[in-house]
Amino acid sequence: MTTESTGTSWELKGIERLQRQWGDKAITDALVEAAKVAGAHTAGEVATVTPVNKNPTPGETRGRLAAGWNSRARRVGSGAEATIGNNVFYGPYVNYGTGIYAGRGRIRAKQGKVMVFKGMGGGMIFARSIKGQRGQHFAEKGLDNASKDVPRIVVKRIEHELDRQGSS
């Protein structure tokens, strides 16, 4: 299975001046902390627009896909990056779609002549092929929502980290 990825990046101006003033390590540490906060915020924004199961099992509150969003930050050269992800295997299918909606043609039975599955009303459905499921593009919506806040969050967190380091 292949998955697509969607990304957004921002460039911070004036980092060189801060590196001269505070040192490379202090700035890189602050950038990593800022990336952690920005990544967690972005994962949260994506989770809020992730579709949830309309018929949850007892005890299930958000749905596996919505609850599965996570983030991590790491140092990259003298900067940092945040990555958000979800390990729920069907996430790409819900986000990008399947069959004709993903540009892959109709879905056909792998064994036998027909597919058999339970329909929404509970009855059995027999089909030679199906169109698939339209993509819901929730990851892109969540990234777009987060992109409005992330630059402010990053700058605020860098200021906080430098204040903390300056008072140590």
Q: Which residues contact 53 (CB under 8 A, 6 or more apart)?
A: 60, 63, 64
* Weakly modelled stretches of the chain, pLDDT under 50: 1-5
- Cα 72 to its chain centre, rounded Å, is 11
pLDDT of residue 31: 86
Per-residue pLDDT, 100: 96
The pLDDT value recorded for residue 155 is 86
Overall pTM > 0.85: no
Question: For residues 141 and 49, is the Cβ–Cβ distance under 8 A?
Answer: yes
pLDDT for 4? 40
